Amino acid sequence: MRQEVRFTGYGGQGIALMAALFGKAAALFDNKHAVLTQSYGPESRGGASNADVVIDDQSVDFPLVARPNILVVMFQEAYDRFRPTLKKCGILFVDTGLVRVDKQDKDCFGVPALKLAEELGKKMVANVVMLGYFGAASALVRREALEEAIRKTVKSKFIDLNIEAFARGYEWSKNKAVAGK
């Protein structure tokens, strides 16, 4: 059941945190094996950013992702850059407020993560909204495991906000929103 997931966006969006939460949830709280690798552009903020997570029911024998079967995108430039790496018949998740998809991807999964985060009063949790949406729609890791990873990782003063952001994205998945529709 090896799954290769690439989380992408720009520096400052919390892409590495989103991937780390997903990997931690899988490995520590859902009895799976997971490996995380990260890459940043030359700029610390605003440059391209991606983080890859490989999860499996067995030991991960090769940690690198060349062609992910799942791509999570939170910025147009990241879509343009990383979309060609997605495996044929791979699954695409996008922030519909920030990413315009090509016709080939009209049936991808989409959530207005930034907009939902702004409704909570903190756009900085858009990554956790996306994590909630992705977590529910992909069903790769249990909800409880993802919530526990948030509780064990983020600063205590931000736990409630992040859990609320996660829940907002998770609940959005019930709408089965498709980006191109």
CA atoms of 50 and 7, how far apart (whole Å): 5
DSSP reduced 3-state for 111: strand
CA atoms of 19 and 81, how far apart (whole Å): 18
Q: Give residue-wise pLDDT tens across range 103-135.
A: 888 789 999 999 999 999 999 999 999 999 999
The strand pair at 3-10 and 33-40 is best described as unpaired
Which residues lie below 8 Å from residue 121, measured CB to CB, with a gap of 6+?
Answer: none
Cβ count near 163 (within 10 Å): 18
Q: Would you state the structure tokens that stand for residue 62, as one six-digit string?
A: 């090769």
109 and 92 in contact (C-beta within 8 Å)? yes
Closest alpha carbon to 124 in 114, 109, 110: 114
Q: Is the pLDDT of residue 44 over 60?
A: no
Q: Is residue 179 part of a domain?
A: no
Q: Is residue 181 part of a domain?
A: no
Q: Is residue 17 part of a domain?
A: yes
Q: Would you state the structure tokens that stand for residue 169, as one six-digit string?
A: 């994205």
CATH of residue 167's domain is: 3.40.920.10
Q: Is residue 84 part of a domain?
A: yes
CA atoms of 87 and 27, how far apart (whole Å): 24
Q: Given this model, what pLDDT does residue 175 score? A: 73
130 and 113 in contact (C-beta within 8 Å)? yes
Q: Given this model, what pLDDT does residue 49 score? A: 86
Q: Given this model, what pLDDT does residue 180 score? A: 45
Strand pairing partners for 111? 95
Q: Would you state the structure tokens that stand for residue 77, as one six-digit string?
A: 């430039």
Q: Is residue 145 part of a domain?
A: yes
Q: Given this model, what pLDDT does residue 46 score? A: 66
Q: Is residue 59 part of a domain?
A: yes
Q: Would you state the structure tokens that stand for residue 172, as one six-digit string?
A: 């959005």
Q: Is residue 82 part of a domain?
A: yes
- The per-residue b/e assignment along 134-144, b for 16 or more CB within 10 angstroms, e otherwise, is bbbbbebbbee
Total structural domains within the chain: 1
> What band does 179 get if pLDDT is binned at 50, 70 and 90?
low
Q: Is residue 178 part of a domain?
A: no
> What band does 23 get if pLDDT is binned at 50, 70 and 90?
very high
> What band does 177 get if pLDDT is binned at 50, 70 and 90?
low
H or E, element range at 65:
none
Domain that includes residue 140, residue range: 3-172
